[in-house]
Amino acid sequence: MAKSQATFMKKQLEKNRAKKKEEKEHRKQDRQQNSTGGKLEDMMAYVDENGNISSTPPEPKKVFTPQAKK
């Protein structure tokens, strides 16, 4: 009797593992189908001179470079 219960439990555990694996694969496929694409440009954030976060890059500033005297 103990042997049949042990094999029954092993079969149940294996079924549970297979079911969890199948559900995990299903969730993975759903995420892949519903993903927005996660492009690098969409994920970038910029900080302006006031410390505010924005999605647009700041305008390049012109840096004053003194001319060397001859």
The predicted-structure confidence for 6-52, as pLDDT tens digits, reads as follows 899 999 999 999 999 999 999 999 998 987 777 887 788 888 888 88
State the pLDDT at residue 59: 80
Q: Is 53 helix (H, G, I), strand (E, B) or coil?
A: strand
Pairwise CA distance, residues 44 & 60, whole Å? 17
What Å distances lie between residue 47 and 13, 25, 53, 58, CA to CA? 52, 39, 5, 8
Most trustworthy range by pLDDT among 12-16, 48-52, 53-57, 62-66: 12-16
Cα dihedral 29, 35, 41, 47 sign: negative
* Residues 45 and 55 sit within 8 Å (Cβ to Cβ): yes
pTM of the model: 0.48
